[in-house]
Structure 1
Amino acid sequence: MHWLADILAAIGVVLNGIPQGIMAMSLGFAVFPTTFSFVFAAAVNGVFSSVAPLSFQAESLALTGNLGQTQRERTSIIFWGSIVMCLIGFTGTLTKIVTFMGNNIMSGMMAGVGIMLAKIALEMAKHQPKNGYLSILIAVLTYLITKDLVWTIVLSVVGTSLFAVFVQHYRVSLPDNVTSRRFNFTKPILNIHIIRGALSLACLNIGANISYGLLTGQMTKIKPNPVDLNLLTSTQALADMGTSLLGGAPVETIISATASAPEPVIAGIIMMLIMAVILFTGWLPKIGKYVPSASIAGFLFILGIFITFPENAATALQGSSAVIAGITLVITALVDPFTGLASAAVLKFILPLFGLGV
């Protein structure tokens, strides 16, 4: 019966990914080209027996949507960010970056991202008060009762969508570029704004690949940790590079329940292939017409305040580098992840001159 457990785990992660795919459409990303990313990642995981799958990730989508004002700006941020991550993955420098910055500072950056996610959720609620605050209310109640992120996502999104459709008679017409089942080349642009966004996205992915990737590996109970961070980074970067040129949404590292399945590699591949079918057949845009963008606010709020912030903040504010980590946390929350980590790198040299930090 291993195969049944593998399929059930895969379906659970698909349910996690669908609302975030809808979020990607609300930001103007075409989801049909993202089929490429899921098929490519599934093939790589099959060849190299990797247990860490890729999927839509709320953090990267929220950050990209916040930093880019248009669809072309957002795909350009993803493209150039993937170039940075390719260099990091191919040269094997991910672990060197972490070693230099230190676990505390990386955790401080991720904690700051948690606050960013909560702020974005509240901004969504301000623009669509009824849907946004209802989503947050359902998500908080569900998470406090179940402590289960999948149920939190499903109930908050479904509950808000049912309210929108039957009470508000909600239905949205998605842009042609979002629903089109064709490949449309999108030439990336480059300017200071795009560079800053790309570096911010790369910084977020560095933290996510380490924390989410290793956590997924831990869930397999295999020792030593089976996740190859450089392979994961290279796969994610190549997948994003290809799909961004076609106007598609980014896929990143996630905390995946497929890792706890009897056959974690197979379960992860099944999950990505199911997502590929959903995108290729055009089912996701059909669902997205009835789902308000603010329905994801509750999930973002829970992910930021209950999941990402507490654990990372606790790690960041321990040890001799707690001062720098705390500053990284605040700057990341107020500005962006790149500025947070860049400030930390500078402070690592300056603060010791005044007897603070390391």
Structure 2
Amino acid sequence: MHWIADLMAAIGVVLNGIPQGIMAMMLGFAVFPTTFSFVFASAVNGIFGSVAPLSFQAESLALVGNLGKDLRERSSIIFGGSLIMVLIGLTGSLTRIVDWLGSDIMNAMMAGVGIMLAKIAINMTKAEQKTGWLSIIIAVITYLITKDLVWTIVLSVGGSSLYAAFIEKYRAELPANVTARRFLFTKPIINAKVIRGALSLACLNIGANISYGLITGQMTGIKPNPVNLNLLTSTQALADMGTSLLGGAPVETIISATASAPEPVIAGIIMMLIMAVILFAGWLPKIGKYVPSSAIAGFLLILGMVVIFPEDAAAALAGHHSMIAGITIVTTAVFDPFAGLVTGGVLKFVLPLVGLAL
């Protein structure tokens, strides 16, 4: 009866991904073209036996939404970032980049992303204060009791959305491109903001693919680790490249509970195919009409402040370059992951050349 356990694990990850898919719609991304990403990734995982699935990722969505002012800029950022990641994946450069920079700098960059998410969560509450703060309160209480991120996101998003729908009579009119059941070509543009955003998204994905990919692989309990990080990087980048040209949302590496299922590869494929059906059938926009953007605030706050920041900051500051790691954390949080990673890398390799050490 392994298939029941596989299915239950897949459904759990789907429940975690739906609110983040709603977040993607709130940023103007179309859901119909994103079906391609899930089908493509499920096919690749089935052919190569990869246990690491792709799904909507709050970190990348928050970053793209923060750096791009409209759909065209955001889609261009995703396209540019995916071009960089394709080169990294196909050349097998992912682990070499991490080895060159050092795990402390990479962890520091991810810790800074955690602060960014917490800041974005607080900013979300300014437009819809009652719903936003209710989401945060429910998320904090739920996580303190359960220590479970799936329950945290389901209850905080669900509870605050029910309040908004029945008490505040919230109904959203989603843009036509979000709900359109057709492909709409979105021509990429190039400007300073797009270049900065693409580099930042690539830096975030480097860190996420290493950390999330390895964690998902380790959950299988199989040694050596079955996750092929270069295959994972190439798959994620090619999926994003295709959908970004059609105005679709990015899908990235996640820490997936399907890895703990009896058949981790099959469970991951089931999860992605369920998500593909939800998007193809147009069910997500129907749900999204009743979910305000501030409903995701509680989950983002817990994800950034409790899940990502403490572990990555502790690992970064425990290394030999704790001062540089601290500077990287702050720079990432204030600016973006690219600025943080470049600052940390420059300080780490330039300071010793001039006789200084931090």
Q: What interval of TM-score do these two structures reach, taking the shorter chain for normalisation?
A: over 0.9
Pairwise CA distance, 1:5: 0.1
Structure 2: runs of 5+ lacking an equivalent? none
Match in the other structure for 2:348 = 348
Structure 2 CA distance, aligned partners of 1:320 and 1:266? 41
Query: 2:171 and 2:271 mapped to 1: Cα distance?
Result: 29
> What's the counterpart of residue 300 of structure 2?
300
Distance 2:356 2:73 in 1: 42
TM-superposed deviation, 1:319: 2.3
Alpha-carbon distance, 1:88 to partner: 0.2
The structural deviation recorded for 1:322 is: 1.4
Q: Which residue of the partner structure matches residue 277 of structure 1? A: 277
- 2:214 corresponding residue in structure 1: 214
Give the deviation of 1:321 after TM superposition.
1.5
Q: 2:105–2:345: 8 Å Cα contact kept in structure 1?
A: no
Aligned residue number for residue 75 of structure 2: 75
2:100 alignment counterpart: 100
The aligned counterpart of 2:140 is 140
Which stretch has the larger CA shift, 107-116 or 339-348?
339-348
- Could you tell me which amino acid in structure 2 is paired with residue 66 of structure 1? N
Pair 1:242 & 2:256 matched:
no
Structure 1 position 72, deviation (Å): 0.3
Aligned to 1:127: 127
* TM-score for both structures, normalised by structure 2: 0.99
Give CA-to-partner distance per residue, 1:231-252, whole Å, 9 cap, x none. Answer: 0000000000000000000000
Q: Report what 1:316 is aligned to.
A: 316
Residue 26 of structure 2 corresponds to 26
Q: Which amino acid aligns with 1:100?
A: W
Deviation at 1:344, TM superposition (A): 1.3
TM superposition shift of 1:191: 1.3
Match of 2:168 in 1: 168
Kindly provide the amino acid, as one letter, of the partner of residue 342 in structure 2: A
Question: Percent identity between the aligned chains?
Answer: 76
Q: 1:346 Cα deviation (Å)?
A: 1.2
For 1:67 and 1:17, the matched residues in 2 are separated by 22
Number of the residue aligned with 1:197? 197
**Offset at 1:301?**
0.3
- Mapped to 1, the partners of 2:243 and 2:100 lie a distance apart of 31
- 1:228 maps to what in 2? 228
1:168-202 deviation line (CA, Å, top 9, x unaligned): 01111100000101100000001111100000000
Cα shift at 1:138: 0.3
**How big is the shift at 1:349?**
2.5
Deviations 1:292-337 (A, max 9, x none): 1110000000000110000000000012121211111110000000
Task: Note if contact 2:77-2:194 (Cα within 8 Å) is conserved in structure 1.
Answer: yes
TM-score in terms of structure 1 length = 0.99
Residue type at the aligned position of 2:167: V
Give the aligned length: 357
C-alpha distance in 2, partners of 1:313/1:257? 24
Higher mean displacement: 87-96 or 314-323: 314-323
Give the stretch that moved more between structures: 13-22 or 126-135: 126-135
Structure 1 unmatched runs, 5+? none
**What is the aligned partner in structure 1 of residue 179 from structure 2?**
179
- Whole-angstrom CA distance in 1 between matches of 2:267 and 2:205: 23
Query: Contact 1:323 / 1:356 at 8 angstroms: preserved in 2?
Result: no
What is the CA–CA distance in structure 2 between the aligned matches of 1:325 and 1:224, rounded to whole Å?
30
